Amino acid sequence: SYRSRSAFKLLEMDDKWHFLTPRDVNVVLDLGSAPGGWSQVVAQRLGWADTPGSATDEWDAANPLDISGFESAGGRRGRGTIVAVDLLRMDPIPGVQFVQADFLAPSTEGLLHALVPDIDSDGGAGEADVILCDMAGNSTGNTSHDIESSLAICTSVFEFTKRHMRAARSVGREMGGVLLIKHFRHPLIDAFRTEHLVPHFRDVRYLKPNASRTESREGYFLCRGWRG
Ligand code: SAM
């Protein structure tokens, strides 16, 4: 079974936009990964576990959180490299390498980098094909604090992206080089989107999965086609 409800958000977004499924998606980073729902979904989509179906099937099921698949996958080998990071500990998932660390701490970048093989053959910079960020600071109920914390995470993840994302042309697909990033809706975050995301990706869109509570200010930017 999935470890988080968030898993259904990722299933839903990938069912529609297919950023995890292409065969040339080799390196996926999951930032803010605990308890591990997104990592489970990524591992499935890269063939490390059986795929239980689409998000819609699961929502229709009487017990949407009860899905078999991981347990039965026993030792199956998928493709690619999946690296996850979180402040909190996370139980192991086959195919996922986990680092317990503060993503915002300067030393963490080196820890992540060390786990990702540099498989670039064309000399292009960057090694991640997909960077996922479901990271969120603890919500305080104080909107300006929450916005500040969301903006700090977005900024830091974007800086990291600049150093580690493989450009679409070396991926060989127009829309390769994908960043999926959670944020809280606010004019300041919108300015961040316009100033940083839009100029660097071919396509940037706002997603609000059905599995995300309508009343929450949470949403995702799906950014595809990293220009490098
Ligand atoms: N996608 C996950 C899943 O499906 O299981 C759920 C992620 S949860 C909404 C957000 C996570 O971000 C929390 O586990 C939290 O510990 C983590 N987080 C927040 N700030 C962080 C930081 N600075 N460094 C690493 N992880 C952080």
- Residue 171's pLDDT band, with cuts at 50, 70 and 90, is confident
Interface predicted TM-score (ipTM) of this complex, two decimals: 0.99
User: Is 61 a member of any domain?
Assistant: yes
User: Is 108 a member of any domain?
Assistant: yes
Dihedral through CA 100, CA 28, CA 197, CA 211, nearest 10? -80
Res. 122: pLDDT tops 90: no
* CB of 118 sitting under 6 A from ligand 1: no
Question: Which pLDDT tens digit goes with each residue over 154-167?
Answer: 999 999 999 999 98
Name which residue sits closest to atom 4 of ligand 1, judged by CA.
37
Res. 56: pLDDT tops 60: no
Q: Return the pLDDT at 140.
A: 79
User: Is 115 a member of any domain?
Assistant: yes
Q: Which domain holds residue 71?
A: 6-226
- Residue 62's pLDDT band, with cuts at 50, 70 and 90, is very low
* CB of 34 sitting under 6 A from ligand 1: yes
* CATH number of 22's domain: 3.40.50.150
The residues, any chain, with a CB within 8 Å of residue 71's CB and separated by 6 or more, are none
User: Is 192 a member of any domain?
Assistant: yes
Mutational pocket test of ligand 1: of 40, 42, 86, 212, the residue with most ligand atoms within 8 Å of the beta carbon:
86
* CB of 103 sitting under 6 A from ligand 1: yes
Q: Return the pLDDT at 53.
A: 46
* CB of 161 sitting under 6 A from ligand 1: no
- Residue 120's pLDDT band, with cuts at 50, 70 and 90, is low
How many domains in the chain?
Answer: 1
Residue of 9, 16, 162, 182 with catalytic role: 182
Res. 27: pLDDT tops 60: yes
Res. 101: pLDDT tops 70: yes
- Residue 135's pLDDT band, with cuts at 50, 70 and 90, is very high
* CB of 135 sitting under 6 A from ligand 1: yes
The whole-model pTM stands at 0.89
User: Is 1 a member of any domain?
Assistant: no
Res. 153: pLDDT tops 90: yes
208 a catalytic residue: no
User: Is 133 a member of any domain?
Assistant: yes
- Residue 99's pLDDT band, with cuts at 50, 70 and 90, is very high
Average pLDDT value for the chain:
86
Mutational pocket test of ligand 1: of 87, 107, 157, the residue with most ligand atoms within 8 Å of the beta carbon:
87
Which atom of ligand 1 is nearest to 30's Cα? 1
* CB of 85 sitting under 6 A from ligand 1: yes
Q: 65 versus 222: which is more confidently predicted? A: 222
Q: Return the pLDDT at 207.
A: 97
Res. 81: pLDDT tops 90: yes
Res. 75: pLDDT tops 70: no
Mean pLDDT for the stretch of residues 54-60: 42
